[in-house]
Amino acid sequence: MIEEESPRAAGLAATVAACLALIKSRFPDDEDRGAAAMLLADGSILTGTAPDAMNASVEVCHEVEPYCGAFRLNQPVVASVCLHRQSSGRTVVLSPCGVCRERLAVYGPGVLVAVADHRDPTIVVWKALKEVLPDYWMTAFPDEVDAGWTT
Ligand SMILES: [Zn+2]
């Protein structure tokens, strides 16, 4: 019996593929570059990358562009992935930084985020945001936060 891929798994795979495609199309050379992609509740996928800046302190995460796009479209973020291609050609998974975890928290503890497999950072492991942000500060205000954060 052949198992069919679930729509959810297909959406996650498509999100990773979109992220890889952006890195390849936007940065065709072998330089170190990255991008992010987010799967939205309506099934659409937004991608983004971080513009270069002379002053590194004003640079943004790759996730910012799809994050803002999701808000513009009024679509909750379902999943987020950030990938970084090294000049060697190897592409590693970057888990969302603390600021991006905070950004994604508005969509609840069930948002899926891609983290690197501990033994092989080129492998995507999907985790619920609650797993990578176990002590979210907003749980001090249970009436103001998605109930999933406090259960
Ligand atoms: Zn970030």
Q: How far is the CA of 138 from the centre of ligand 1 (A)?
A: 19
Written as six digits, the tokens of 21 are 């495609």
Q: How far is the CA of 102 from the centre of ligand 1 (A)?
A: 9
Three-class SS of 21-80 = HHHHHHCCCCCCEEEEEEEECCCCEEEECCCCCCCHHHCCCCCHHHHHHHHHHCCCEEEE
Amino acid at 101: R
Whether the predicted pLDDT of 5 surpasses 70: yes
Domains of the chain by residue range: 7-149
- The 10s digit of each residue's pLDDT in 67-109 is 999 999 999 999 999 999 999 999 999 999 999 999 999 999 9
Ion ligand 1 residue ranges (Cβ < 5 Å)? 61, 97, 99-100
Band (pLDDT 50/70/90 cuts) for residue 7 is confident
Alpha-carbon gap, residue 151 to 149, rounded angstroms: 6
CA–CA distance from 45 to each of 62, 85, 108, 110 (Å)? 14, 20, 18, 18
Q: How far is the CA of 34 from the centre of ligand 1 (A)?
A: 12
Q: How far is the CA of 61 from the centre of ligand 1 (A)?
A: 4
Written as six digits, the tokens of 26 are 């936007």
Q: How far is the CA of 79 from the centre of ligand 1 (A)?
A: 14
Q: How far is the CA of 47 from the centre of ligand 1 (A)?
A: 14
Q: How far is the CA of 3 from the centre of ligand 1 (A)?
A: 35
Name the CATH architecture for the domain at 7-149.
3-Layer(aba) Sandwich (3.40)
- The 10s digit of each residue's pLDDT in 103-129 is 999 999 999 999 999 999 999 999 999
DSSP state of 95: P
Amino acid at 97: C
The dihedrals phi and psi of 77, each to the nearest 5 degrees, come to -80, 130
The dihedrals phi and psi of 43, each to the nearest 5 degrees, come to 95, -10
